[in-house]
Amino acid sequence: MKTLVTGGTVVSSTGRSEADVLIDGETIAAVLPPGSTVLGFDVAANVDTVIDATGKYVIPGGIDAHTHMEMPFGGTFASDTFESGTTAAAWGGTTTIVDFVVQYPGQHPVEQYQAWHGKADGSSAIDYGFHQILSDVQDSTLTAMNELMDEGVTSFKLFTAYKGVFLSDDGQILRAMQRAADTGAMIMGHAENGSVIDVLVQQAIERGDTDPIYHGLTRPWQAEAEATHRLIMLADLTGAPLYIVHVSARQAADQIAAARARGQNVFGETCPQYLYLSLEEQLGAPGFEGAKWVCSTPLRSRAEGHQNHLWHSLRTNHLQVVSTDHCPFCMKDQKEMGVGNFSKIPNGIGGVEHRMDLLYQGVVTGEITLERWVELCCVTPARMFGLYGRKGVIAPGADGDVVVYDPNGHTSIGVGRTHHMNMDYSAYEGFEVDGHVDTVISRGAVVVDGGQFHGRPGHGKYLRRCLSQYLV
């Protein structure tokens, strides 16, 4: 099948131009001046499908580098399967996810990697790769890291929080970083001081402070900034590249900026919830309503200026990527597990469907440029995690992952409007976006067009990733 996307403005991280995009089979065959006959024939007359993108942007398919489909957590599972979650992602213009394989203490990382294949293979509607969570670093873990790299898993996540579940002590983190420095793997860090948080949580519960807002108040910015600094120092000691996930505090972003100013290979992502939502407005909603927005790191106080600072950090490239940390739980029977005790609320927000739209709204409001939108959501995630050239770019030889985005369209976010995730509420209910995902193409197949989903479970393929292409 040959598809021509014609009449649109192709946007990259470095500029924009009027161009036609020819997709042959699963890959991009050519990027041509409008109406070009350089191939020696009328292209539009010799393809199977013509997509009119006049007045619209043509961008690489979005890459969400941080998702948790079907993740077991807190006595339940994230409510999106690979089928439902990747379908929702496609609706929102995301054509690739990188999901986290979970390894709890006592489990073998390679066996867990194989189990995640069992969840995703034949179910995913878009292409997918895997990161590996390491919760119990032993000699066998270091061997497993090498084995997993042979499978195209080139990034490993460590936690400084969640004692008995994910927490690694500094010595374990050091050993994993040493191995990563030897192999070129990327270490990813969940940066919160878990020991401090555990004490603050227990003290709050003993006082009777059990509402959802205390989830945020017992995970203060100091705990995030301290753990971020500690991981940066260990990475500096070992020479390992480090990527801090879901940065929510401005002080943590400043730690990353300082490390980068020293020339260290330290990177950071933030998420739409930390740009748009807040402790006061969402987590502090009356009654138990705030449970909808319980996630870790937590939503921060707008009065403290975190949201504005994170936008600034995206503009200055102190933060390089916007992912979602998509980990949805329904209110009924899941978030409700924490009624009367905020520490029992499953941590997670669903947003894989809305990342591209929410970040485009930042273009509309002047927070970032059009090119920076594409860089944050498409280009840099591909480079950061060893996918660039195949993903994250509209160029001959790249996968035919293309999104047609209408800047004159409109998207209303909410249940019953734009909501395909398997959860019974929307974290962004009532948000209005001055733009719309019109057409989504995944490896040459039109999966969303005309307000209809045309994809299928199993279309998505596993991506063996290379080493990071973003290191200095």
Percentage of the chain exceeding pLDDT 70? 100
Question: What confidence tier does 35 reach under pLDDT thresholds 50, 70, 90?
Answer: confident
| Helix, strand, coil share of the chain (percent; to 5) | 35, 25, 45
Question: What confidence tier does 67 reach under pLDDT thresholds 50, 70, 90?
Answer: very high
| Contact status, residue 217 vs residue 204, Cβ threshold 8 Å | yes
Above 90 in pLDDT, residue 37? Answer: no
CA–CA separation, 469 and 386 (whole Å) = 6
CA–CA separation, 161 and 149 (whole Å) = 25
pLDDT of 290-301, one tens digit each?
999 999 999 999
Percentage of the chain exceeding pLDDT 90? 97
Reference 69, options 21, 26, 120; nearest CA is 120
Q: What are phi and psi of 72, to 5 degrees?
A: -75, 130
Sketch out the chain's domains with CATH numbers.
Answer: 2-59+393-453 (2.30.40.10), 62-385 (3.20.20.140)
pLDDT of 154-198, one tens digit each?
999 999 999 999 999 999 999 999 999 999 999 999 999 999 999
Largest CA distance in the chain: 77
Residue environment code for 360-378, b if the CB has 16+ CB neighbours within 10 A, otherwise e: bbbbeeebbebbbbbbbbb
Give residue 435's pLDDT: 98
Q: What are phi and psi of 350, to 5 degrees?
A: -95, 130
E strands, 367-464, where? Answer: 402-406, 411-412, 432-433, 436-442, 445-449, 452-453
CA–CA separation, 189 and 220 (whole Å) = 17
Above 90 in pLDDT, residue 257? Answer: yes
| Contact status, residue 166 vs residue 174, Cβ threshold 8 Å | no
Give residue 160's pLDDT: 97
Above 90 in pLDDT, residue 392? Answer: yes
Query: Higher pLDDT residue, 42 or 228?
Result: 228
Q: Average pLDDT, stretch 3-7?
A: 97
CA-based torsion, 341, 342, 346, 349: positive or negative: positive
Give residue 301's pLDDT: 98
20 burial class (0-12, 13-18, 19+ CB within 10 angstroms)?
A: buried
| Type of residue at 335 | K
| Contact status, residue 236 vs residue 228, Cβ threshold 8 Å | no
